[in-house]
Chain A
């Protein structure tokens, strides 16, 4: 398996624009997590899905953030409109056993909002 695949690897956008981050989890994994990493706040869980259903979105910072998982092999994290404080590295991870299993992380998307 190629592992968790995220795209794009880097994204630079202007404030106010819509940004969509994409993730393909490992086949057979039924949990998918979105994390955000910043120097100030470290790694924060934004939302996670089980069998394509959002389970906990309490980490989503604002209504500007939304996440979907239309099928078992694809998820998106959308920010609209984007703001400079959204600049961070966004990681997607998947696992087979949720909290007791190993979470496999993608390479991340480095988002810069100018």
Chain B
């Protein structure tokens, strides 16, 4: 069975400083990994995905994530936070074909301090 653990339920950073949202995964097979963002009262939007190609994945709005198999991690980063980044972020794992179930982490709420 696959699972993800988001290590921080809440992260606060100042505008213009780096963002780090941490995610560890567990999977018996080569996983597909995703980060989704949810702004207040909105649906979820895909930020980026890893599907066994390059280990450093670039997404929208300046976000990127690095797949590290040795550490079973898929942390999300951004060099400089913007006020519009304030949202809930979900790390998601799937084992892909034959098992289309997306398993969501518990989410990390990102607050940006002006």
Contact = CB atoms under 8 A, between A and B. Distances in A.
A91 B100 contact: no
B46 A99 contact: no
Interface in A68-87: none
Interface residues of A, number: 23
A45 B102 contact: yes
Contact of B100 (A99, A106, A107): A99
A91 B44 contact: yes
Given A42-B106, A91-B44, A100 B101 contact: no
A61 to B, nearest CB: 16
Nearest to A95: B100
Contacts of A55: 100
A45 B44 CA distance: 14
A99 B102 contact: yes
Interface string B46-86: 10010100000000000000000000000000000000000
Given A102-B49, A105-B43, A42 B101 contact: no
A100 B46 contact: no
Contact of B32 (A43, A45, A99): A99
B97 A100 contact: yes
Given A42-B104, A42-B107, A43-B104, A99 B99 contact: yes
B45 interface: yes
A56 B95 CA distance: 15
Nearest to B93: A99
A34 interface: no
Contacts of B99: 99
B49 A99 contact: no
B104 A98 contact: no
Given A48-B101, A55-B100, A103 B46 contact: yes
Interface of B: 32, 34, 36, 42-46, 49, 51, 90, 94-97, 99-107
5 contacts: A42-B107, A48-B100, A50-B100, A91-B43, A107-B42
Closest 7 CB pairs of A and B: A98-B100, A99-B94, A105-B43, A99-B100, A43-B104, A105-B44, A100-B96
